[in-house]
Amino acid sequence: MTAPLKGITLTHPWSWCVAHAGKRVENRTWAPERQGGRVGMYLAIHGGAVPLGAKRREAEADLDHVRRHILDIDQRAAATWNAVAIPGIVAIARLAAVTRDSTSIWAARGQYHWILADVLTLPEPIAHRGAQGLWTVEPTVHQQLRDAYRAARQVPA
């Protein structure tokens, strides 16, 4: 039996940045072991609901900052920001390491830096409810993600 796949919900635009803009550090105030996680595990990267009102404007300002100051994002990828309308899993990534001293432009001072590797961006988000902390992906969605990963990486079933 396969161990349950864990998911982690990121607010926008950060889930989008993992999937489309090369963000390979996720900042957390806690180590993954605190919630049953470990280095080497795979994570479903989940984008929470697109915020409305002031929160949406704040998220769009964050994304604009990423566009102008951090990376030159491919315009086709940038257009996908507007298409993200439902909460869902946007990528799969392996937790390669956890440190507190990453020099990445994505690393926030004083936080745990979850280093993501082998990121696979899904062609379309898969609808799923997220939560705070690490949460368990539903078995049917886990199978969809496993199939997508194997197809993209050409791994036999």
Question: What confidence tens digit (pLDDT) does each residue in 25-58 have?
Answer: 999 999 999 999 999 999 999 998 776 777 778 7
> 42-47 and 88-99: which strand pairing?
antiparallel
Residue 101 in domain: yes
pLDDT at position 21 is 83
CATH of the domain at 25: 2.30.130.30
Tell me whether residue 48 is in a domain.
yes
The predicted-structure confidence for 94-141, as pLDDT tens digits, reads as follows 999 999 999 998 898 999 999 999 999 998 889 898 999 999 999 999
The domain tally of the chain equals: 1
Which of these, 108, 7, 96, 5, lies nearest to 48 by C-alpha position? 7
Decide if 21 is inside a domain.
yes
SS3 content of the chain, % helix, strand, coil (to 5): 35, 30, 35
Nearest-CA neighbor of 105 among 58, 65, 60?
65
pTM of the model: 0.83
Decide if 1 is inside a domain: no
